[in-house]
Amino acid sequence: MSERVLSIQSHVSFGYVGGKAAVFPLQCLGYDVDVVNSVNFSNHSGYGRFGGSKATPEDLIKIFNLMEQNGLLSPSRLLTGYIPGGEALTVIAQLAKKLRSNNPDLIYLLDPVLGDSGKLYVSPDVVPIYRSILPLATIITPNWFEVETLTEVRLTNVDALRRALAILHEQYRVPHVVVSSMPLVPPVEAGLPAILRSPKSSEDLICISSSFIPDHSKRANPPELSSVFVLRFPCLPGYFSGVGDLFSALVLAHYRPSLPTLPQSAPPTQTPLSIATSHALSKTFSILEFTSAQLLSLPEEERTLTDDEADGADPERKVKRMRGRELKLIQGQDILRGERPIETRWMAAWEDFWHSK
C-alpha cells in the first residue's frame, strides 16, 4: 500500500516554490499527497510583484475538520513549510498534535521556514511558536540561519554547532535534524573529518544530518548525543527559489524508519536519515545543475546576476532573471524519479563530532 502525505505549504500559480516544489516530486515518488494551500499567490516574492489570498486560520480549521469528519485525516506523513503568521501556525500546531496522538508512528517533517542569509522572512513573534512545535516533529530541515534563530547559538565553529544540535535534540526533543546548508567557514572546516578537509573551494557549503541516539550514555565515553553525518558540496552561482522546499520534500520522500539495504557504492556506515539526506541532496543538486545548464540557452537579459542597484533601476531586470531561474522540475522529472543516472553524493560519518575540539 502506498503512503499518504499531508502537505501544508504556500501555493503559487506560476513557478516552483512551496507546494509547487514539493508536491510533484512526492507524487513522482509514489506518495498520495493531500494538499492544503496556506496561501494562493501569483508567484514567489523574489519577483518583487506578488500577491493573492491567504487562508485564514478559520479556513484551515474548516478544511481540517471536514477532512476529519470524512475520515480523510489519517496521513502516515506530515510535511509543513512556509506558514505565514502566528495564528495559522498555531492551527497547524494543533493539527500536528492531533495527528501525532492519533498515530505515534506519524513521520512529521517540519521545515521551520524563518529566513535565510541572516534575514527573517517572518514576523519575530512566529519564532517562539515554531519552538513550541519542534517537539512534535520527527525531522526538521532548517538552514544554518534558522538553526541560529531557533537555538540562539551563532554557528561560528564546531563547538557552537554541537551546542545548537544538543539544544535541538535534548531541549526540543527532535529526533532527526538536517541542517540543509551552511557556509563552510574556516573554524568549521578545521573541525571536519580529514577526508573533507581537502583544499576545495572556500565557497563550498556543507549539509549536516544528526540522528539522536536514545541511549547515548551507553554508546561511548564521553557519550555521543547523536550520529552526525556531513556532506560538502559546491555552491552554484546565483540564487534559486524553492530549493529548500524541494530538498525537504525529497528528505521526507526518501526517509524510511528502518535501514534499507545499501548499494555497494555507499559508505558502509549510514543511518536512515543520512541515506534520505544523501538522496535528497544529490537529486536537488542535479536539478540545480540541470536548471543552470538550461539557463545558458536563455537570452543574456534573462540570466543576469543579482545586483540590487541595477535591479532597483529596472524592476524588469529582476523579473526576467527570476523567470529563468525557476526550477526545471518538469523537464528534470526523471532525476526526481531516479530514472536518470546521477552521481549519488553520500554523506560521510563525522565520527569524532562530539569529541573533536
Q: Please, what is the angle between helix 126-133 and helix 86-102, to 10°?
A: 0
Q: Which stretch binds its own copies (CB under 8 A): 12-20, 82-90, 128-136, 279-287?
A: 12-20
C-alpha cell at 99: 495527528
* Residue 93: its H or E element: helix 86-102
Per CB under 8 A, which region of 143-151, 174-182, 319-327, 349-357 contacts its own copies?
319-327
Binding segment toward its own copies, per CB under 8 A, in 51-59, 77-85, 165-173, 273-281: 51-59
* Cis-peptide, bond into residue 315, ω within 30° of zero: no
**Percent helix, strand and coil across the chain, each to the nearest 5:** 40, 15, 40
Cβ nearer to its own copies, comparing 52 with 193: 52
Tell me the sheet residues that pair with 119: 116
Question: Residue 177: is it exposed, middle or buried by C-beta count within 10 angstroms (0-12/13-18/19+)?
Answer: buried
Instruction: Select 70 or 265, whichever has its Cβ closest to its own copies.
Output: 70
Give 161: exposed, middle or buried? Use CB within 10 Å, 0-12, 13-18, 19+.
buried
Phi and psi torsions of 110, nearest 5°: -105, 115
In the bound complex, what is the minimum distance in angstroms from residue 327's beta carbon to its own copies? 11
Would you count residue 293 as binding its own copies (CB under 8 A)? Answer: no
- Piece in contact with its own copies (CB under 8 A), picked from 125-133, 176-184, 263-271, 318-326: 318-326
Q: Read off the DSSP letter of residue 168.
A: I
Q: Looking at beta carbons only, is 43 or 274 nearer to its own copies?
A: 43
> Of 238, 214, 208, which Cα lies nearest the Cα of 226?
214
Task: State which of positions 18-47 bind its own copies (CB under 8 A).
Answer: 20, 24, 27-28, 30-37, 40-43, 47
- 239 in contact with its own copies (CB under 8 A): no
CA 171 – CA 167 distance, rounded (Å): 5
State how far the Cα of 327 lies from the Cα of 15, in Å rounded to an integer: 8
Minimum gap (Å) between residue 116 Cβ and its own copies? 22
- Establish if 123 lies at the interface with its own copies (CB under 8 A): no
346 near its own copies (CB under 8 A)? no
Q: Which stretch binds its own copies (CB under 8 A): 7-15, 88-96, 120-128, 242-250?
A: 7-15
Given a contact cutoff of 8 angstroms between Cβ atoms, the answer to whether 106 and 78 are in contact is yes
* Residue 330 interacting with its own copies (CB under 8 A): yes
In this complex, which beta carbon is closest to its own copies, that of residue 5 or of residue 164?
Answer: 5
- Position of cell 538522496? 279
Binding-site member from 11, 176, 283, 325 for its own copies (CB under 8 A): 11
Distance from C-alpha of 224 to C-alpha of 5, rounded to nearest angstrom: 32
Which parts of 65-94 interact with its own copies (CB under 8 A)?
66-67, 69-72
Summarize as ranges the residues that interact with its own copies (CB under 8 A). 2, 6, 11, 13-15, 20, 24, 27-28, 30-37, 40-43, 47, 49-53, 55-56, 59, 62-63, 66-67, 69-72, 316, 319-320, 322-323, 330-331, 333
